[in-house]
Amino acid sequence: MKALEGVRILDMTHVQSGPTCTQLLAWFGADVIKVERPETGDATRGQLRDVPDVDSLYFTMLNHNKRSLTLNTKHGTGKEIFERLIQACDVLVENFAPGALDRMGFSWERIQTINPRLIYASVKGFGPGPYEECKVYENVAQCTGGGASTTGFDDGPPTVTGAQIGDSGTGVHLALGIVTALFQRERSGKGQRVICAMQDAVLNLCRVKLRDQQRLTHGPLREYPQYPDGKFGEATPRSGNASGGGQPGWIVKCLGWEDDPNAYIYIITQAAAFDGLARAIGRHDWLDDPDWNTPKVRLPKLDQMFNEIERWTKTKTKFEVMEILNPLNVPCGPVLSMKELAEEPSLRASGTVVEVDHPTRGSYLTVGNPIKLSDSPAEVERAPLLGEHTRDILQNVLGMTDQELEAAQGDGAV
C-alpha cells in the first residue's frame, strides 16, 4: 500500500510549480487527475521541445504517475463535469494566474458548498499586498524572494540559481500544506484553503539571509568575503561561495580546472577537522601557530587560508581530494556536472535518477522521488499523453455513460 492511496487529486496545475507538487503526491500513491485544455494541454508539452511533435522533457519530467483528462472548464458541459470532479476528489490544486478559477465560476465559497471536505490548494506569485495580481515565473520569484540579491559575487550583478527554488521549491512547500490539511481533515472532517506564494517560499529558503540582515546591525559579517577589507552596506550582501553557516567554506580549484569548468570542490574548514586538513595540505606549522590555530584568528584571513588549500587541491582531481579528506572528517563535495550526475551509479541504484520509457519519445532520464519512505516506495511511471485517460476517468470516476461521453465530446467540452 502507498502512503496516499485512496486520495484523489484534481490537478489543474501547469508549467512547473504546481506540477512539482502533484507529482510528489502521485509518487506517494495519490490518484492525480491532470485536467488539461482540449487540444493544447499544459503549455509545457510544447515548450523547449527536443524532438518534433513529442511531449517535451519539460513536461514529461514534471508529470510522472498522473492521468490526463482533457476538459474545457469554461464550457457549459465542461463546468458541469468539473463540478462532479470536485465532488469526487479530495484535493484541488491549481497554479493559474490570480482569479482564474473564480473567473470560471469556481470561487472558494462555491467550492466549499460543492464539497465541504475538499482541500483547495494554490500556488500564487505573491501573497496579499501590492503585487498579488501579478503573474510570476521562477526567476521573478528568485528576485522578489531575496534569492538574487544574496547570490553571486560582491562585485557582480544579482544572480539567479539553477536550483528552481521559486517553482519546485514552492511546489514542495505546497505539498506539505496539502498533506497537513489532509491530516487535519481526518479529525475535523472539513477541507480548507491552502495557499503558498512563490515569494514567501523563496524567502523561507533564504531565511539565513534575513538572519544576516539583522546580524549586520551589530557589526560586519565576519564569515563573509567582504570582511575585513571590504565594505558592508545596509543590506545582506552577496557572499560569493562563502558558507552560509558558522563554519567557513569556499569552492577551490582542482587538477584540470583550466579545461574543465567543473574541476572544483567545496571545502568546509570545520574547526573539529581543521588539524587533519592542515596536515593533509602540508601546513603542519598552522597547528602551533597562534596566528592560525583557532577559528577566531583565521576569520580575518579566510582568503589566505583557502588560497593555501587551493595550492594543494590544484595538484589533485576533485575525487582524489574527496578520498583524502573524507576519512579526516573534513566536509567537502566535488562540483558535479549534470553529465556526472546522470551517470552516477549510486543515484541510479537509489532510484533518484531513473530511466523511463515513453511511447513517443523512447527512453529518457528523469529525477525520481527524492523523498524515500520505507513503507511507500515510489515507482516512476511515465507522464500521460494528452487526454490519455479521459474516457477512463469520466466513466470510472464519474460513472458517465457512453452516450454522455459522446455528447460531451461532440460539443467540445472534453
How far from 290 is each of 269, 279, 287, CA to CA, in Å?
Answer: 17, 16, 8
Give the span between the Cα atoms of 350 and 392, in whole angstroms. Answer: 33
Residues 91-110 binding ligand CAO (CB under 6 A) are 95-97, 100, 103-104
Strands 332-334 and 264-268: antiparallel
Minimum CB–partner distance for residue 135 and ligand CAO (Å)? 4
Q: Which of 31, 42, 90, 167 is catalytic?
A: 167
- Regarding 125 and contact with ligand CAO (CB under 6 A), the answer is yes
Per-residue binder mask for ligand CAO (CB under 6 A), 25-64, x = binder: ----------xxx---------------------------
Give how many residues touch ligand CAO by CB under 6 A: 25
Q: What are the start-end ranges of the E strands in 138-215?
A: 193-197
CA 92 to chain centre: 20
Helix (H) or strand (E) holding 92: strand 91-94
Complex with ligand CAO: residue 103 or 190, whichever CB lies closer: 103
- In b/e form, how buried is each residue of 100-132, taking b as 16+ CB within 10 angstroms? ebeebebebeebbeebebbbbbbbbbbeeeebe
Q: CA neighbours within 13 Å on the CB side: how many for 380?
A: 25
d(CA 40, CA 45): 8
Near ligand CAO by CB under 6 A: residue from 73, 77, 269, 270: 73
- Per CB under 6 A, which region of 135-143, 263-271, 362-370, 389-397 contacts ligand CAO? 135-143
Q: Closest distance between ligand CAO and the C-beta of residue 148, in Å? A: 15
- 84 lies in the binding site for ligand CAO (CB under 6 A): no
Does 22 contact ligand CAO by CB under 6 A? no
Please report how close the Cβ of residue 354 comes to ligand CAO at its closest, in angstroms.
Answer: 23
Taking the complex as a whole, the smallest distance from the CB of residue 95 to ligand CAO amounts, in Å, to 3
Give the three cell numbers for residue 137: 515565473
Please say if 167 is a catalytic residue: yes
Is residue 124 within the footprint of ligand CAO (CB under 6 A)?
A: yes
**Residue whose C-alpha is closest to residue 414's, from 84, 99, 91, 97:** 84
164-193: contacts with ligand CAO (CB under 6 A): 167
| Contact positions vs ligand CAO (CB under 6 A) | 15-18, 35-37, 71-74, 95-97, 100, 103-104, 123-125, 135-138, 167
